[in-house]
């Protein structure tokens, strides 16, 4: 994709389907006057909407609408951009797009690839990589909190935080690199400049950004929650209670759920992708056996596993033996990801769940609020959406690598005497990892992967 970024491009910039208004967008380094003359038959004033007919090759009107011209560099992509706002019928927009390709043939115009307009905004310095990703996140936001946080990231909140870290890191790198030029004074120079103190303050600042970034990643990615346990412990009832709708069939017959049933809900703006799974048991039913196998696959991918138990059956030898067998197989799942939940508290009488387990009733709603709070705590959520910026797992991993190299730099700096060449190298690696977030240091294949997930026209 990067090798073609000098070509003029065109695409429908609005969502597929029928609508009141549809937009065809063109971006090019070249002057767009030939296309404007061919389609609009008159000059356009920069950044001023002009109502006129859009003409085909024979001079007939395809449609009537608004034309806007944004000369470079004052446009979304930083190039010359023409937007044609027509009625939002699919046929009309396809005719208008085809006419743009036809009129721009001499310029070498082509259809845009997914995300190519935003990619050009990045390549032309209109957005950094974190802001460009926030464009996609804003479009895909599934909750109000995620949308607001994506808007803050698009405005540069994450980039500003990373920029402050980068500036502090550059100053520290300059200090160490300069010291390498004066080896006879290196120890006194570093001590006088408080190099170790600067490194510690930088690390503390990074920890704060990393924490906020993890919260932002939760807002974007959400949490995969899987309901698992023996048949008839109330998994489907709990899914319905959390979703507030009858999504899964609930019957007294064991094995009713044969396949995974999923629903996305939100708690405090955080998306939770909740999946009800087939009851875990040995069975001769071929279809149910496939469902059980899929249940174990879902368990392996869960961020949080709710291991459901039937509070009314505590003390039943056969039931508890099956629970122990499931628990033994769950030994491969990290303990911090498993939440023990005892259901049917409304009909359990005096039965008590083990200490530390959560007791609830999916039928009456008892304990559901506590479960919601525990789910957020289990996932590591503790921030409020206000002031938070959206982030991706890629950003979290880059910050973690930065943190690891800073930790190694600190260990080197505390040595007597410090190995300045190793210290300089660890700081350089920290700088490189940090630069991956905003795109200062980014491989072409990473950029291709990021922008390919955008919609066409954006």
Q: Pick from 38, 147, 148, 21: which is nearest to 98 by CA?
A: 38
Is 213 annotated as ligand-binding? Answer: no
Is 458 annotated as ligand-binding? Answer: yes
Alpha helices (H) along 181-232: 186-192, 195-221
Pair of tokens at residue 343: 């259901």
Q: Pick from 332, 340, 354, 330: which is nearest to 309 by CA?
A: 340
The separation between CA 342 and the C-alpha centre of its own chain, rounded to angstroms, equals 33
Is 237 annotated as ligand-binding? Answer: yes
Is 254 annotated as ligand-binding? Answer: yes
Is 435 annotated as ligand-binding? Answer: no
Is 109 annotated as ligand-binding? Answer: no
Quickly list DSSP for 37-94: HHHHSS---BT--EEEEEE-TTS-EEEEEEEEEE-TTSSSSSSEEEEEEEEE-HHHHH
Is 233 annotated as ligand-binding? Answer: yes
Q: How many CA atoms lie within 13 A of 125 on its CB side?
A: 3
Number of other residues whose CB lies within 10 A of the CB of residue 413: 22
Is 251 annotated as ligand-binding? Answer: yes
Is 232 annotated as ligand-binding? Answer: yes
Name the DSSP letter for residue 180: H
Is 25 annotated as ligand-binding? Answer: yes
Is 77 annotated as ligand-binding? Answer: no
Is 276 annotated as ligand-binding? Answer: yes
Spatial distance between the Cα atoms of 78 and 121, rounded to a whole number of angstroms: 6
End-to-end CA distance of the chain: 15
Is 83 annotated as ligand-binding? Answer: yes
Q: Angle, to 10 degrees, between the axis of helix 420-438 and the axis of helix 157-180?
A: 160
Is 253 annotated as ligand-binding? Answer: yes
Is 124 annotated as ligand-binding? Answer: no
Binding-site annotation, residues for GTP = 232-237, 251-257, 276-279, 343-346
Binding-site annotation, residues for K(+) = 232, 251, 253, 256
Binding-site annotation, residues for (6S)-5-formyl-5,6,7,8-tetrahydrofolate = 25, 83, 126, 458
Binding-site annotation, residues for Mg(2+) = 236, 257
Binding-site annotation, residues = 25, 83, 126, 232-237, 251-257, 276-279, 343-346, 458
């Amino acid at each position: 994709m990067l090798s073609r970024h000098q070509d003029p491009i065109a695409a429908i910039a609005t969502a597929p389907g029928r609508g009141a208004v549809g937009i065809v967008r063109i971006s090019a380094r070249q002057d767009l006057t030939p296309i404007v003359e061919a389609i609009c038959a008159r000059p356009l004033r920069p950044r001023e909407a002009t109502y006129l007919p859009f003409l085909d090759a024979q001079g007939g009107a395809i449609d009537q609408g608004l034309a806007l011209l944004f000369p470079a560099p004052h446009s979304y992509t930083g190039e010359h951009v023409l937007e044609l706002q027509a009625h939002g019928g699919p046929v009309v927009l396809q005719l208008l797009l085809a006419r743009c390709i036809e009129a721009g043939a001499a310029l070498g115009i082509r259809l845009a690839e997914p995300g190519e307009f935003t990619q050009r905004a990045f390549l032309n310095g209109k957005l950094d990589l974190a802001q460009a990703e926030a464009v996609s996140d804003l479009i895909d936001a599934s909750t109000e909190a995620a949308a607001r946080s994506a808007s803050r990231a698009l405005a540069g909140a994450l980039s500003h935080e990373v920029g402050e870290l980068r500036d502090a890191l550059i100053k520290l790198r300059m200090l160490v690199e300069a010291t390498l030029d004066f080896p006879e004074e290196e120890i006194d120079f570093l001590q006088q400049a408080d190099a170790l103190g600067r490194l510690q303050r930088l690390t503390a600042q990074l920890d704060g950004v990393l924490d906020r970034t993890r919260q932002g990643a939760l807002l974007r990615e959400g949490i995969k929650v899987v309901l698992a346990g023996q048949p008839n412990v109330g998994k489907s009832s709990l899914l319905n209670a959390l979703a507030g709708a009858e999504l899964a069939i609930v019957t007294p017959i064991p094995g009713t759920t044969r396949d995974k049933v999923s629903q996305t809900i939100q708690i405090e703006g955080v998306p939770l992708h909740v999946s009800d799974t087939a009851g875990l048991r040995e069975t001769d039913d071929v279809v149910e056996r496939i469902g059980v196998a899929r249940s174990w696959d879902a368990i392996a991918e869960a961020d949080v596993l709710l291991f459901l138990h039937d509070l009314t059956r505590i003390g039943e030898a056969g039931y508890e033996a099956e629970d122990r067998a499931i628990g033994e197989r769950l030994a491969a799942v990290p303990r911090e990801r498993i939440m023990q939940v005892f259901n049917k508290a409304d009909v359990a009488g005096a039965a008590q769940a083990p200490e530390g387990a959560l007791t609830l009733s999916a039928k009456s709603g008892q304990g559901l609020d506590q479960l919601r709070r525990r789910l957020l705590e289990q996932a590591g959520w503790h921030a409020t959406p206000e002031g938070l910026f959206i982030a991706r797992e890629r950003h979290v991993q880059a910050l973690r690598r930065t943190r690891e190299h800073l930790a190694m730099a600190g260990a080197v700096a505390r040595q007597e005497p410090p190995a300045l060449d190793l210290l300089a190298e660890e700081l350089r690696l920290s700088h490189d990892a940090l630069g991956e977030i905003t795109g200062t240091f980014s491989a072409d294949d990473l950029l291709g992967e990021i922008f390919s997930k955008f919609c066409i026209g954006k």
